[in-house]
Amino acid sequence: MKYIDEYRDGELARQLAASIGQEADSARTYHLMEFCGGHTHAISRYGLEDILPANVHMVHGPGCPVCVLPVGRIDAAIWLAGQADVILCTYGDMLRVPGSKRLSLLKAKAEGRDIRMVYSTLDAVKLAQANPARRVVFFAIGFETTTPPTAVAIKQAQALGLTNFFVFCNHVLTPSAIAQILDSPEVRELGTVKLDGFIGPAHVSTIIGSQPYEYFAEEYQRPVVIAGFEPLDVLQAVRMLVRQINDGRFAVENEFSRAVTRDGNAKAKSLVADMFELRKAFEWRGLGLVPYSALRIKHAYAAFDAERHWDVPQDSVADNKACECGAILRGVKKPIDCKLFGTICTPENPMGSCMVSAEGACAAHWTYGRFRDTKAPTA
Ligand code: SF4
């Protein structure tokens, strides 16, 4: 297939779903976690769960970069925005995620702090160039896909001789999060979350390749199929997982071969390795402290590190008690299990991060009406 429409062909999708139904063993269930928010979005948008056999269950994972950032780091970004001469900039979704006391960057901006939305890391560098008397902090978030652009921005700031450009680094790593889920008591001991296989990330894998997932397949005996974000990609990945599970195989397979190789993007990986090093541990919303799951800026680039320039608070702050984002990100609950879903919490009035980002499970369910058969929202 060559064109995007072909990956969205409804008739082909129905045929693929029917073949999954024929191949799936009716005597068992299949619980498949889609790690990525992009897959969650595709599954909701195209109603894929409606055409899959009843014994194939999709479990949402923690692969939404905005969702997994804990409250403490949002509070820290708001704190940074309050420092003298600071312009804090970040991507649009981050502005609306509630921190503690329901304060968000957007509300902090309304209260007078200089907080701006940027579309790219290079916009942030331009902001620093245009405002030499101010200190510009880029609030960097995201998985392996958005880390190389942050590295490029630091390199560019260095080449331009900028001394007023800083990065508040919150880049996180996919493989560590998958390991944390597989090691969680819900999966390992209690069996409350059943996971028979993973749909591996699309964009992340274009950078890191398929090789890092081989460890999970071998060590945890779970098949992984890397898939693109189109509906036929997801259905094809489900069929590949069902086949592996039926055969008792635990391999890494690559459905997204049009963009992903085993070794990934060597140039991007070397740029990231030059600029960043592993943190010993990093807090994730829903997953808690995850060892070696995030990056910090290396000493050689310390002049651009906001956490070295300021004594940034490192507090762990509890989530809103009523918000079930944490459990949703671990695959323990679904958006409709949250009492606030569609009542108090909507995209216009998000109570948690999963309702803010387009990749968040709550926002995907809300936007594409995945609640309609189960719960009628009042808003
Ligand atoms: S519906 Fe809102 S409050 Fe409930 S889990 Fe989702 S984001 Fe949190």
Kindly state if the Cβ of 67 falls inside 6 Å of ligand 1. Answer: no
From CA 275, how far away is CA 294, in angstroms rounded?
13
Residue 266 lies in a domain: no
Q: Are residues 298 and 345 in the same domain?
A: no
* Among candidate residues 284, 309, 334, the one where a domain is terminated: 309
Kindly state if the Cβ of 364 falls inside 6 Å of ligand 1. Answer: no
Residue 348 lies in a domain: yes
Secondary element (H or E) of residue 169? strand 165-171
- Domain total for the chain? 2
Question: What sections of the chain are H helices per DSSP?
Answer: 10-23, 37-45, 48-51, 65-68, 71-81, 92-96, 105-110, 121-130, 147-159, 174-183, 185-188, 203-208, 214-219, 231-247, 266-275, 306-309, 325-329, 361-367
* Best of 340, 353, 378 for a ligand 1 pocket test (most atoms within 8 Å of beta carbon): 340
Residue 183 lies in a domain: no
DSSP string, 254-301: ES-TTT--SS--HHHHHHHHHHEEE-SEEEETTTEEEET-BEEE-GGG
Kindly state if the Cβ of 355 falls inside 6 Å of ligand 1. Answer: yes
- Exposed / middle / buried, residue 112 (Cβ in 10 Å: 0-12, 13-18, 19+): exposed
Note down pLDDT in tens along the chain; length 379 residues: 778 888 999 999 999 999 999 999 999 999 999 999 999 999 999 999 999 999 999 999 998 999 999 999 999 999 999 999 999 999 999 999 999 988 999 999 999 999 999 999 999 999 999 999 999 999 999 999 999 999 999 999 999 999 999 999 999 999 999 988 888 887 777 667 789 999 999 999 999 999 999 988 999 999 999 999 999 999 999 999 999 999 999 999 999 999 999 999 999 999 999 999 999 999 999 999 999 999 999 999 999 999 999 999 999 999 888 999 999 998 889 999 999 999 999 998 899 999 998 789 999 999 988 666 555 554 4
Question: What sections of 132-230 are H helices per DSSP?
Answer: 147-159, 174-183, 185-188, 203-208, 214-219
- Full domain range(s) for residue 143: 67-172+294-309
CB 293 within 8 A of CB 173: yes
Kindly state if the Cβ of 319 falls inside 6 Å of ligand 1. Answer: no
Short-list 201, 197, 264, 179, CA closest to 42: 201
Kindly state if the Cβ of 324 falls inside 6 Å of ligand 1. Answer: yes
**Which DSSP category does 120 fall into?**
S
Q: Are residues 304 and 349 in the same domain?
A: no
Q: Are residues 118 and 142 in the same domain?
A: yes
Residue nearest ligand 1's atom 7 by CA: 352
Residue 151 lies in a domain: yes
Instruction: Read off the CATH number of the domain in which 89 is found.
Output: 3.40.50.11740
Residue 330 lies in a domain: yes
Residue 318 lies in a domain: no
**Which DSSP category does 318 fall into?**
P
* Among candidate residues 309, 333, 354, the one where a domain is terminated: 309
CA of 356 from ligand 1 middle (Å) equals 9
* Among candidate residues 309, 336, 353, the one where a domain is terminated: 309
Kindly state if the Cβ of 335 falls inside 6 Å of ligand 1. Answer: yes
Residue nearest ligand 1's atom 6 by CA: 362
